[in-house]
Amino acid sequence: MRAKHLVWIRRTSQAVFLGLFLVLLVMSRLPEDVYLQYSVVFSSDADLRLDQPVTFFFQLDPLIWLSSLVSGHRLIHGFWWALGLLLVTLFLGRAFCGFICPLGTIHHIVGWVKPALKGDRMTKANQKTPGNRVKYFLLITLLVGAIIGLNIAGLIDPISLLFRSMALAVLPAAGIGLKETFDMMAASDIKVLNYLSYGGEALVSPVFGYGYPAYKTAWLIGLIFLVILFLNRIRPRFWCRILCPLGALLGIFSRFSILRLEKDHAKCTECSLCAKGCQGAASPMPSQAWENAECVLCFNCFDVCPEDALSFSFRWSPKLNKKPDMGRRAVLGGLVAGISLPLFARLDFSAHHVSDPRLIRPPGALPEEDFLRLCQRCGLCMKACPTNVINPTLAEAGMAGFWTPHLIMTQGYCEYTCTLCGSLCSTGAITEISAKEKLERPIKIGSAYIDRGRCLPWSGNGPCIVCQELCPTSPKAIYLRKEVVPSPTHAPMQVDVPYVDLKRCNGCGICENKCPVRGRPAIRVIAAGESRSIRNQILLTGSVS
Amino acid sequence: MDLNYPISRRESLKRIAQVSASLAGAALGISPLLSQSSGLASAASKRFVIEGIGAKDDYKVKELTRMVFEAAGGMGQFVSKGDIVAIKPNISWARRPDLAATTNPEVLEAVIELCLDAGAKKVRIADHTIHDARRCFALTGVGTVAKRTGAELIFPRSSLMKRMKLHGHRLDVWPVFVPLVEADKLLNVPVAKVHSVSTLTLGMKNWIGAVGGRRSALHQDIHQSIVDLARFFNPSLTLIDATRIMITNGPSGGSPSDVAAKHTLILSNNQVAADAKAAGLFGYDPGEIGFIRLGQKWGLGTYDPKKLIEQRMIL
């Protein structure tokens, strides 16, 4: 095959997979065109699901598969894809990094649009440095930590990182900017602008998830993403070379690769064009030994060599490729960090003692310890949630739970028959439940309580009881009693005041969400009473163990 | 709720004028009490209430719907050729329609077909739902109604909410769901339910789902808010779906035991009259329901049987 073709095949493949990633990202929300047969809607509580395989890239990611296997002892759904990818890596090396990885492609594009350096300085920047070992350190830390019980692979797994950054920061930021423009046009008195606004919004709102969701503290996710992109100014694909734990994992597997870079020393004129174009700092020059574990198979060296001194070919050989250059320090450091981090994580006690009252997990979430062992913090549940209630945590779940999903009822609420998040969780940290299960077991995510000082009727400030109206259970978990309360004029006032029946409350939070007291509502939901936890119960019931 | 909150003199004069004008109109309207549908047709401008009841076990909801409209002289009396018709169902909750929290999709389908048969250019279904609109439209079957009939679904969007002057007694300026205002004809197709704040939710209460803004604050003076909104939207027709009604745990319901089958549709060109008729299904006198009483007081209509043409049809 001609050299030119290989580079173009690589570029085409990158474009296709980046496109696929973005399409699946955009599709990770409930569509507007759901048409159910009357026979279906009349007969049962239908479960709305997404038709597209939006978890495909998570299933393809061997780091997600391995970390959830060793940490949560679970084979995730569709792990065959990840297994297949590892097999491919065994034969072809880090083809994933060069041909498929959407984050790698974005780095590649950034470096192509604005090359970090010029001339000799670029050649120098593309030499292997001890910094390349950092990724092995990170990989070992993550995997050892995962075995001991702290699974934070998702924080820097490239697929999780990219999905989280795009879904929670980049898309919402762009969407809200557009929405504000449309709202401004809609408020105008010029009819043409009104129509343009309606039309424009109908066109773009499907891309941004219809409701233009926004996520608490997502600015941090966006900032980190920008920093990671900016690192390409230091050297090309900085992330892939220095930091990516998935790249490190695939690099280790590439030891057995039969696709090898063949170097013809006789033809080489030491022009070093190959090194200048190298994306992985993989030492393509014939005077150096090829670092197959660093090579992302971009085929740039092969493409630029004016003397045809370089070629890629399939060759069986009993001799293995060069060992990945991990360095003893990276290995030992990784072991130490991997053992100590899980111990630090326990300092939070979050998994063992009473958790943060506002740590309300999505319906169907596993008990906290199991949940943390599986959650990849990819943000898919947050992206797909139709009410925008699921947000990333900061400190609520402790260090081990950074960026895991929790429900903020002032942002949204958990819709009574909605079970979408669990159907999408790629590792099963949120189990898939049906609406029937959610209602009948029932699955409680917390309990509501009333703040009588803020409540309008309780404080004598007039009738209200929006909370009771919206309570979705039957009979309602919020019930009313006529009480006489002192009004601001000191005259006794008879109003309906709300009470919560803890046995019926499932913690959905619609009461908190719609309470007219904004910011810190007069009725709030705390995690206590969540059915996934044996400890975090309020009432003495027969089934407590 | 305080009915006696102060109003300006000019406003009170305006109201007196409105009330007396409507009373005069009603007085003229009642003189020939007509029982035949053809008579009703000619009296389409007069206030009528038609109650259609499906008595047979195997009656078809769609047939019942067609029957009540025929009794009113046909949809052609209300919808002209080339009209853009906006329909406001009550699909606030992402619930199965058999739980009676939302308008029966079969009723809606029949109404839209009648509009299209009458020559409507376009029929739009719009509701500012409480639950997520996508789930509401899908799970109540209304998405399918739109798909079958070719009607347009209008999802609530912030760019479709526009602050408008309501000229209400309680509500002055409020964000309104524009597609329900910018239509040639507006039809109100609510479901009949009990409601914890307003006792019942019928036709007039349905307009709370036609506005945006801080809707939860409306509960602090619910009946006057309802009347203000009803006066602003003032639909051509109200068709109350009482095929199933929610008799307890309203307005959300959630259990089949909250529902009673009434096999009834109530069609009226007057909001107060329609709601008053439907209140009877729950065993209430219209005067017991705050917004119905206020609606009559402020001249939106009447529930005085002497001022209405009433008809009862059995299928």
Between the CA of residue B227 and those of A460, B204, B234, B293, B297, what are the distances in Å?
25, 7, 10, 10, 10
Instruction: Say whether A38 and B131 touch across the interface (CB within 8 A).
Output: no
Query: Domain check: are A375 and A326 in the same one?
Result: no
Half-sphere exposure of A41 (CA within 13 A, CB side): 29
What's the confidence (pLDDT) of residue B166?
A: 93
Residue B70 lies in a domain: yes
Range of the domain at B283: 9-314
Query: Domain check: are A430 and A497 in the same one?
Result: no
What's the confidence (pLDDT) of residue A354?
A: 64
Instruction: Say whether A415 and B219 touch across the interface (CB within 8 A).
Output: no
Query: Domain check: are A340 and A424 in the same one?
Result: no
A203: left (phi over 0), alpha (psi -120 to 50) or beta: alpha
Range of the domain at A182: 1-26+53-347
User: Could you check whether the bond before residue A213 is cis, i.e. omega within 30 degrees of 0?
Assistant: no
User: Could you check whether the bond before residue B286 is cis, i.e. omega within 30 degrees of 0?
Assistant: no
Could you report how far apart the first and last alpha carbons of chain A are, in Å? 67
User: Among A419-428, A469-478, B36-45, B260-269, which is the least confidently predicted range?
Assistant: B36-45
pLDDT band of residue B18 (cuts 50, 70, 90) is: low
Helix axes A62-72, A134-148, angle to 10 degrees: 30
User: Among A11-25, A29-43, A454-468, which is the least confidently predicted range?
Assistant: A29-43
B244: contact with A, CB 8 A cutoff: no
Q: Residue B14: which CATH number?
A: 3.40.50.11440
Distance from CA of B77 to the nearest CA of A (A): 30
pLDDT by residue (tens digit) across A400-453?
A: 899 999 999 999 999 999 999 999 999 999 999 999 999 999 999 999 999 999
Count structural domains, chain A.
3
Query: Domain check: are A257 and A364 in the same one?
Result: no
Helix axes A80-92, A245-253, angle to 10 degrees: 60
Mean pLDDT of chain B: 87
B139: contact with A, CB 8 A cutoff: yes
Of B97, B147, B220, the CB nearest to A463: B220
What's the confidence (pLDDT) of residue A543?
A: 53
As a 3-state breakdown, chain B gives helix, strand, coil percent values, each rounded to 5, of 40, 20, 35
pLDDT band of residue A255 (cuts 50, 70, 90) is: confident
Contact A415, A488 (CB under 8 A): no
Distance from CA of B165 to the nearest CA of A (A): 14
**CA atoms of B72 and B44, how far apart (whole Å):** 7
Determine the Cα angle at A120 with ends A119 and A124, to 5°: 125
Residue A47 lies in a domain: no
Spell A432-453 as b/e; 16+ CB within 10 A means b.
bbbbebbbeeebbbbbbbbeee
Count structural domains, chain B.
1
Residue A14 lies in a domain: yes
Helix (H, G, I), strand (E, B) or coil at B14: helix
A136 pLDDT exceeds 90?
yes
B9 pLDDT exceeds 60?
no
Query: Domain check: are A267 and A372 in the same one?
Result: no
Token pair of A101 as six digits: 């990885």
Token pair of A132 as six digits: 């390349």
pLDDT band of residue A534 (cuts 50, 70, 90) is: confident
Residue B1 lies in a domain: no
Residue B144 lies in a domain: yes
Q: Which is higher by pLDDT, A456 or A114? A: A456
**CA atoms of B171 and B224, how far apart (whole Å):** 9
Helix (H, G, I), strand (E, B) or coil at B187: strand
Token pair of A488 as six digits: 């601001």
Token pair of B24 as six digits: 């005069």
Cβ contacts of B222 on chain A, cutoff 8 Å: 463
A209 pLDDT exceeds 70?
yes
Q: Residue A419: which CATH number?
A: 3.30.70
Distance from CA of B212 to the nearest CA of A (A): 13
Structural domain ending residue among the three candidates A445, A475, A502:
A445
User: Among A207-211, A429-433, B282-286, which is the least confidently predicted range?
Assistant: A207-211
B156: contact with A, CB 8 A cutoff: no
pLDDT by residue (tens digit) across A305-337?
A: 998 899 888 888 777 788 888 889 999 999 999
Token pair of A166 as six digits: 């795009």
Closest CA to B233 of B294, B296, B164: B164
Query: Domain check: are A437 and A453 in the same one?
Result: no
What's the confidence (pLDDT) of residue A202?
A: 86
Cβ contacts of A48 on chain B, cutoff 8 Å: 135, 138-139
Mean pLDDT of chain A: 91
pLDDT by residue (tens digit) across A370-392?
A: 999 999 999 999 999 999 999 99
Query: Domain check: are A325 and A418 in the same one?
Result: no
Residue A431 lies in a domain: yes
Instruction: Say whether B216 and A44 touch across the interface (CB within 8 A).
Output: no
pLDDT band of residue A542 (cuts 50, 70, 90) is: low
Query: Domain check: are A151 and A235 in the same one?
Result: yes
Query: Domain check: are A375 and A231 in the same one?
Result: no
B174 pLDDT exceeds 60?
yes
B44 pLDDT exceeds 80?
no
Residue B2 lies in a domain: no
Closest CA to A186 of B165, B164, B85: B164
Instruction: Say whether B96 and A48 touch across the interface (CB within 8 A).
Output: no
pLDDT band of residue A98 (cuts 50, 70, 90) is: very high
What's the confidence (pLDDT) of residue A541?
A: 74
Closest CA to B18 of B300, B303, B308, B304: B300
Instruction: Say whether B130 and A32 touch across the interface (CB within 8 A).
Output: no
Residue appearing with tokens 């209008």: B154
H/E stretch holding A22 reads: helix A3-27
Cβ contacts of B140 on chain A, cutoff 8 Å: 41
Residue appearing with tokens 């949940």: A371
What's the confidence (pLDDT) of residue A349?
A: 61
B182: contact with A, CB 8 A cutoff: no
Residue A538 lies in a domain: no
B130: contact with A, CB 8 A cutoff: yes
Instruction: Say whether B220 and A476 touch across the interface (CB within 8 A).
Output: no
Residue A269 lies in a domain: yes
Range ranked top by mean pLDDT from A201-205, A291-295, A506-510 = A506-510
A544 pLDDT exceeds 60?
no
Q: Report H helices in A149-259.
A: 153-156, 158-164, 171-187, 191-204, 218-230, 238, 245-253
What's the confidence (pLDDT) of residue A319?
A: 78
Of B144, B163, B196, the CB nearest to A465: B196
Looking only at Cα atoms, what is the longest distance across chain A?
103
